[in-house]
Amino acid sequence: MQKNVVVIDAEGLILGRLASIVAKRLLYGERIVIVNAEKALLSGKPLSVLAWYWDRLAKKTHYNPEKTGPKHPRRPDMIVKRAIRGMLPRKKPKGRNALSRLRVYIGVPDEYKNVPKIKIAEALPRNARIKYLSVGELARRIGWSE
């Protein structure tokens, strides 16, 4: 395990809020490990969230309509990493270096089992009436097989 690593437990946290906070901390130079990526939440009606993601998966390219693209991840850890990458500066060394300081895991690896994990209070759900879909459930429904 590396020194000066912040371990964040994503269980029960809203993905968009988590991603924006983690992106900012990565730009400040922190090394961050996210565990339980499959238990992060997406807010909205489950069918609406699935329809939105399926729409993104079905996009075709302009230069070769027979070929599908752009490619979107189907694994929960890569979905979370892609959300964080979208909030970092693109095509700049600062953004690439920040992304290299991030590790995202499904579940909790053995090396991080006894490490204290933090929960980001700003990313907790605020409204109990809103429906949520976990990233793991989204991944299973779009074709991820464990």
- Predicted confidence at residue 61, as pLDDT, reads 65
Dihedral in degrees, nearest 10, Cα atoms 145, 40, 113, 107: 0
Q: What is the pLDDT of residue 72?
A: 77
pLDDT of residue 20: 97
Strand order across the beta sheet in which 5-9 lies: 5-9, 31-35, 102-104
pLDDT attached to residue 60: 65
Nearest to 40 by CA among 107, 143, 128, 136: 136
Flag the least confident range among 5-9, 35-39, 110-114, 127-131: 127-131
Q: What is the pLDDT of residues 26-46, one digit of tens each?
A: 999 999 999 999 999 999 888
Tens of pLDDT, residue by residue over 69-123, are: 667 788 999 999 999 999 999 889 999 999 999 999 999 999 999 999 999 999 9
For the stretch 92-105, pLDDT in tens is: 999 999 999 999 99
With bands split at pLDDT 50, 70 and 90, how would you rate the model's confidence at 47?
confident
| Predicted pLDDT of residue 59 | 67
